[in-house]
Amino acid sequence: MAKKSSKIVVNSRILEVQTDLDSGAYTVKYKGEEIGSGSAAGGGGFVIKSGAATKEVLSNYEGGQDALQPILYSAIENENKAILNNNASTTQKLNLRDMGYGNKLDIKGVTTPAEPDNDTTPAPPTGDGETPNDAGPPATPAPAVKPPEVQDLGGQQARYPAGQIDGEYDHVLFTIFEYIPAGVSGVSALVTGAGRPTDRLKNPTTVGSVILPMPRNIADNNTVSFSGDRMNALQAGGASVIQGILSDNPVNATQAAAANIAGALGDNAGQLKDTIRAKVAQDIVGGGNVLTRTTGAVLNSNLELLFSGPELRTFQFSYTMTPRDKAEAASCKQIIRMFKKAMAPKLKEGALFLYTPNMFFIDFIHKGGPHPFLNKLKPCALTTFGVTYTPDGAYMTYEDGSPVAYNLSFSFQEIEPIYDKDYESGDGAEGMGF
């Protein structure tokens, strides 16, 4: 039994569709648990199965289950047909047609025009070229077979290589989705600590996905910022007095602060007078370190390393694609166009504003689910995307002009930092975390 499988994303869930090329039967799994199936006898229609995994797939959709189910069914049935169309032989498709699929599959010469025979030379015409001969009217020429249009962000899934990325191979899934701005309520929610980007991007509209092999270099680099901070004794004393004034009981707090300062000075009261004199003189002349010049001392800056904030992580990917046939060359072209279009700013009617490009979910996949030993990524923006059409240093193409190889290099940046709470629930609580 020849089986093929692929991944699709519905409601931000990664589903695996596994299809038997001989019988046309298929199953759909989420996190390794079956959520439904279909068969040739049923015309390829999807039959959902109740269970915890199914409930999770259908949960948290902004339009509700009733709106999600037809989307789910359509995506699964289309993916099953795509697997059969891309992998089943003509004989298999003919058998599947008779088993219940009808004309849903693309069968050359039956549901699609037959490929022209490039090796056949048309027979020379007979007769005088002006009047028809006894053979009857000339046959209608077969329509020219045009290459399929390259679809960009049409909800479909592109992959490279075509025949080696399935449930048995680890891979990277790039899911493209529409950015959702925070809005006025989202900005207001920041005051209470809510309104994080990941909160509003839990159920975005997905517009396409790309499957690529595991990259050669997989790494993450978590960074936070610290910086040196200085506060001398004069600044500290002034700050404590001002804090006292601004407190709920300013009189008592100010008196306590003054008493603490006086106690702390102790034997340094004389030095403080000298310091104040030097600072006043320095300010009057407009420069020069009077204190050090006159006393040889400097104010203790109480230098301390203080936390200044998190940093956003960046991720680099690099691939070399070497298409082996026309279909794979078309896939390479499609993948490049999808990445380029996804990162382009959106220009809407009126052209007064530019809108945020599409964003990406990036998942390392192992046996149909999240990889347990690799890092997870927050939603990302594609910031750079480069293509080298001559990676070997020479211009080489196939007969139709498609390059024999492409080198892709691109960078992503997460749209929000990693916090400690991210490791306590959701994706961060599993496997390696972020």
Collapsing DSSP to helix, strand or coil, 7 comes out as strand
Burial class (CB in 10 A: 0-12, 13-18, 19+), 82: middle
Q: How far is CA 392 from CA 334, 395, 404, in A?
A: 22, 8, 10
Collapsing DSSP to helix, strand or coil, 309 comes out as strand
> In the chain, what is the greatest distance between 2 CA atoms, to the nearest angstrom?
128
pLDDT computed for residue 60 by the predictor: 81
Amino acid identity for residue 165 in this structure: I
Amino acid identity for residue 151 in this structure: Q
Share of the chain above pLDDT 70, in %: 76
Is pLDDT at 94 greater than 70 in this prediction? Answer: yes
pLDDT computed for residue 167 by the predictor: 63
Backbone φ, ψ for residue 346 (5° rounding): -90, 130
Euclidean distance between the first and the last CA atom of the chain, given in angstroms as a whole number: 39
- Predicted confidence (pLDDT) per residue in 336-380, tens digit: 999 999 999 999 877 789 999 999 999 999 888 889 999 999 999
Q: Are 3 and 84 in contact (CB under 8 A)?
A: no
Is pLDDT at 118 greater than 60 in this prediction? Answer: no
Residues 434 and 424: their CA atoms lie apart, in Å, by: 11
- Of 185 and 325, the one with more pLDDT: 325
Residue 203, beta-bridge partner list? none
Token output for 369:
């689910």
Q: Are 359 and 381 in contact (CB under 8 A)?
A: yes
Residues 247 and 255: their CA atoms lie apart, in Å, by: 12
pLDDT computed for residue 142 by the predictor: 43
CB-side neighbour CA atoms (13 Å) of 356: 13
Mean pLDDT of the chain: 81
Among 128-137, 160-169, 320-329, 404-413, which is the least confidently predicted range?
A: 128-137
Residues 6+ apart with CB under 8 A from 16: 5, 6, 7, 28, 29, 30, 167, 368
Amino acid identity for residue 277 in this structure: R
Q: Are 434 and 418 in contact (CB under 8 A)?
A: yes
Helix H or strand E encompassing 79:
helix 65-87
* Residues shown for the chain: 434
Are β-strands 206-213 and 157-159 bridged in parallel, bridged antiparallel, or unpaired? Answer: parallel
Helix H or strand E encompassing 263:
helix 250-265
Q: What does the DSSP 8-state code read for residue 423?
A: G
Residues 52 and 60: their CA atoms lie apart, in Å, by: 14
Q: How far is CA 205 from CA 185, 200, 217, 281, 360, in A?
A: 20, 12, 30, 66, 11
Residues 93 and 107: their CA atoms lie apart, in Å, by: 7
For residue 232, what pLDDT band results from cuts at 50, 70 and 90? Answer: confident
Residues 309 and 417: their CA atoms lie apart, in Å, by: 9
Which of 380, 374, 378 lies closest to 411 in space, CA to CA?
380
Token output for 294:
């006159």
Can you state the angle between helices 250-265 and 233-245, rounded to 10 degrees? 160
Q: What does the DSSP 8-state code read for residue 100?
A: I
Mean pLDDT of 141-162: 62
Token output for 185:
């309520």
- Predicted confidence (pLDDT) per residue in 179-223, tens digit: 988 887 777 777 766 678 888 887 788 888 999 999 988 999 999
Residues 315 and 211: their CA atoms lie apart, in Å, by: 17
For residue 135, what pLDDT band results from cuts at 50, 70 and 90? Answer: very low
Burial class (CB in 10 A: 0-12, 13-18, 19+), 198: middle
Among 212-221, 261-270, 382-391, which is the least confidently predicted range?
A: 261-270
CB burial readout 232-243, b (16+ within 10 A) else e: ebeeebeebbee
Is pLDDT at 251 greater than 60 in this prediction? Answer: no
